[in-house]
């Protein structure tokens, strides 16, 4: 039987425990580091130890961390390897083992037989990237691991360095890639790799599975990756992250991470709800939608499980967008009834082997999610009729060959009167080949805000307290793109 995702997690913990690591439970998806909304990597709870601002209570640690990355939202369903929620398995060393230890542990765990506690990947399919000046890693890879030189790619600093974006620790990475084979793209041959690893055509073939970060240097001021290395850190750290779902899809012989045991049951349920067959070759867009729904339903489950509630700002807004996008996608698949009541329990059942608390808390979690679907369905029902009428009118009034544009005032009315979010207007108009005058919409929003402020000031004498309006303002300017939240801080 192919290895279940829960088993991959367990093997990770068992392996690193046997190598003297303290096992540390996952922290919440609500980031313990206040500079980011969500926990975006396994290293997040260990940031103070890596920065050296706190002394680590252990020299070696290992975890399987729940993560949310909103910057990958556009990739979801379209690449084989990006989820908004995923689990990052990590091993960490704070002033203990360094490159040699990290590289040889990784190799042993990836390639040792499954009967011996490893993942049993074929050694011949593994590639590694290293910084071109990192001779130490290169030597460990060639001499100790025995990796052939033509499967080691030496990259310039801009492609392989980790840092926090400001003076402090920085260092090169060593990333492990799995070659899925010639049917997935051209060969990166000959040790020259002119197209590696950013060439889109080869992205599907060589899948990044594990990033080893070597916190080696103290860096100075500078933009991007253009900063001086001021010397070696006194206490060097190891911070690694392996994508559990990526390994799962490779080990389970699937095409992508939406087809693994923890995600695919939702797609199966979608098939029976909509009567559409996943990946039957009739519609790529429908396949993408099914993957998006399965991903977003799982992310919503995990976010609400960690206490996030839908709202118009911050984390709650991200959650709201995920739920709404899932609901919309199900409708576009042709199912008009409440869907989350069907899909959320399936996702919970698929996830509970790894996260047992989901079962106990499911009454609360599902109540939050179903209420959000209900309220969004009401918004949709009202706004859709009005939008469709406006879109039809604009199309009729536009000469053939020119793109019809919906006025900013109509988008504003939809927002103002029916609570129809602009991102939804944009998306639904685009689906019918219509653009929206977004600039005019934004001007009207700004105008409204200015008026509200002036009114408020006029009503008060003397002490104008603008604080009450800050939250309104935030609501109105809530990001319409998920891209608003950068995760470059720990993007390694």
Which residues would be at the binding site for ligand ATP (CB under 6 A)? 69, 72, 81-83, 86, 88, 208-211, 241-243, 245-246, 491-492
- Binding part of the chain for Mg ion, among 100-108, 203-211, 458-466, 481-489 by CB under 5 A, reads 203-211
CA dist., res. 259 & res. 111, Å (int): 23
CB of 393 to ligand ATP, least distance (A): 41
Binding-site partner at residue 81 among Mg ion, ligand ATP, none, CB < 5 to 8 Å by type: ligand ATP
CB-CB neighbours of 228 under 10 Å: 12
Q: Least distance in Å: CB of 311 to Mg ion?
A: 27
Q: Judged by CB, which is closer to ligand ATP: 141, or 406?
A: 141
Site string for Mg ion, 208-227 (x = CB under 5 A): x--x----------------
CA-closest candidate to residue 348, choices 303, 295, 302, 293: 302
Is the CB of residue 277 less than 8 Å from the CB of residue 267? no
Neighbours of 450 (CB within 10 A): 10
Binding track over 122-161 against Mg ion, x by CB under 5 A: ----------------------------------------
Q: Tell me how far apart the alpha carbons of residues 456 and 435 are, in angstroms, rounded to a whole number.
A: 35
CA 252 to chain centre: 21
**Least distance (Å) from ligand ATP to the CB of residue 210?**
6
* CB of 243 or CB of 310, closer to ligand ATP: 243
Specify the residue, 86 or 317, whose C-beta has the smaller distance to Mg ion: 86
Shortest separation between residue 301's beta carbon and ligand ATP, angstroms: 16
Which span sits near Mg ion by CB under 5 A: 5-13, 201-209, 340-348, 442-450?
201-209
Query: Which residues, including other chains, have CB under 8 Å from residue 26's CB and lie 6 or more apart?
Result: 63, 64, 65, 66, 87
**In terms of Cα–Cα distance, which of 300, 309, 305 is closest to 356?**
305
Residue 90 interface partner, choices Mg ion, ligand ATP, none, CB cut-off 5-8 Å depending on type: none
- Provide the minimum distance between the beta carbon of 485 and Mg ion in the complex, in angstroms, as a whole number: 14
Nearer to ligand ATP, 70 or 329 (CB): 70
By beta-carbon distance, which residue lies closest to ligand ATP? Answer: 243
Q: Is 295 or 373 the residue whose CB approaches ligand ATP more closely?
A: 295
Beta bridge pairs of residue 61: 22, 92
Q: Which does 296 bind (CB under 5 to 8 A by kind): Mg ion, ligand ATP, none?
A: none
Instruction: Give the nearer residue to Mg ion in terms of CB position, either 202 or 211.
Output: 211
Task: List, in order, residues 6 or more apart from 353 with CB less than 8 Å away.
Answer: 4, 6
CB of 81 to ligand ATP, least distance (A): 6
* Residues β-bridged to residue 491: none
DSSP output for 335-390: --S--HHHHHHHHHHHHTTT-THHHHTHHHHHHHHHHHHHHHHHHHHHHHHHHHHH
Closer of 39 and 274 to ligand ATP (Cβ): 39
- Could you say whether residue 26 binds Mg ion (CB under 5 A)? no
Among residues 199 and 437, whose Cβ is nearest to ligand ATP?
199
- Which does residue 241 bind out of Mg ion, ligand ATP, none, counting CB within 5 to 8 angstroms by kind? ligand ATP
Nearest to 31 by CA among 82, 68, 73: 68
**Of 234, 168, 238, 421, nearest in space to 317 by CA:** 421
Q: How far is the CB of 129 from Mg ion (least distance, A)?
A: 9
Minimum gap (Å) between residue 491 Cβ and ligand ATP: 5
Is 263:298 a contact under the CB 8 Å cutoff? yes
| Chain residue whose CB lies nearest Mg ion | 211
Q: Give the nearer residue to ligand ATP in terms of CB position, either 41 or 343.
A: 41
Closest separation in Å from C-beta 420 to Mg ion = 32
The span from the CA of 225 to the CA of 377, in Å, is 46
DSSP string, 435-478: EE-HHHHHHHHHHHHHHHHHHHHHHS-S---THHHHHHHHHHT-
Binding site for Mg ion (CB under 5 A): 208, 211
């Amino acid at each position: 039987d192919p290895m279940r995702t829960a088993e991959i997690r367990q093997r990770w913990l068992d392996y690193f425990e046997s190598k003297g690591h303290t096992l540390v439970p996952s922290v919440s998806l609500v980031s313990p580091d206040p500079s980011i909304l969500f926990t975006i990597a396994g290293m997040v709870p260990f940031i103070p130890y890596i920065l050296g601002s706190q002394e680590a209570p252990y020299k070696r640690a290992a975890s399987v961390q729940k993560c949310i990355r909103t910057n990958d939202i556009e990739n979801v369903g379209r690449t084989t390897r990006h989820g908004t929620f995923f689990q990052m398995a990590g091993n960490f060393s704070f002033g203990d083992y360094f490159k040699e230890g990290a590289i040889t542990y990784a190799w042993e765990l990836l390639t040792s037989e499954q009967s011996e506690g490893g993942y049993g990947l074929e050694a011949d399919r593994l590639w590694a990237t290293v910084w071109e000046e990192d001779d130490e890693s290169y030597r460990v890879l060639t001499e100790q691991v025995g990796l052939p030189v033509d499967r080691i790619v030496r990259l310039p600093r801009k492609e392989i360095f980790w840092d926090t974006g400001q003076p402090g620790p920085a260092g090169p990475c060593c990333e492990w890639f799995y070659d899925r084979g010639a049917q997935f793209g051209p060969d990166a041959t000959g040790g020259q790799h002119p197209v590696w690893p950013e060439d889109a055509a080869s992205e599907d073939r060589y899948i990044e599975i594990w990033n080893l970060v070597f916190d080696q240097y103290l860096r100075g001021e500078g933009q991007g990756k253009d900063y001086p290395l001021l010397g070696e850190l006194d206490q060097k750290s190891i911070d690694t992250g392996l994508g559990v779902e990526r390994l799962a899809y490779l080990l389970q012989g699937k095409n992508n991470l939406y087809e693994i045991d923890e995600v695919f049951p939702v797609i199966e349920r979608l098939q029976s709800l909509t009567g559409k067959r996943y990946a039957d070759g009739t519609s790529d867009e429908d396949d993408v939608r099914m993957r998006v729904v399965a991903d977003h339903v799982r992310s919503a489950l995990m976010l609400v499980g960690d206490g996030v509630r839908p709202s118009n700002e911050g984390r709650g807004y991200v959650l709201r967008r995920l739920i709404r996008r899932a609901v919309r996608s199900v409708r576009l698949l042709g199912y008009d009834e409440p869907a989350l009541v069907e899909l959320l329990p399936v996702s919970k059942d698929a996830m509970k082997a790894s996260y047992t608390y989901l079962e106990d808390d499911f009454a609360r979690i599902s109540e939050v999610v179903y209420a959000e679907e209900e309220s969004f369905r009401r918004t949709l029902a009202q706004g859709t009729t009005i939008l469709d009428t406006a879109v039809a009118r604009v199309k009729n009034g536009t000469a053939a060959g020119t793109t019809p544009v919906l006025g900013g005032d109509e988008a504003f009315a939809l927002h103002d009167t029916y609570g129809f979010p602009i991102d939804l207007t944009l998306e639904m108009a685009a689906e019918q080949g219509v653009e929206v005058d977004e600039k005019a919409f934004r001007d009207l929003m700004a105008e409204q805000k200015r008026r509200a402020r002036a009114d408020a000031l006029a009503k008060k004498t003397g002490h104008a307290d603008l604080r009450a309006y800050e939250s309104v303002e935030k609501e109105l300017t809530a990001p319409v793109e998920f891209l608003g939240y950068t995760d470059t801080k720990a993007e390694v």
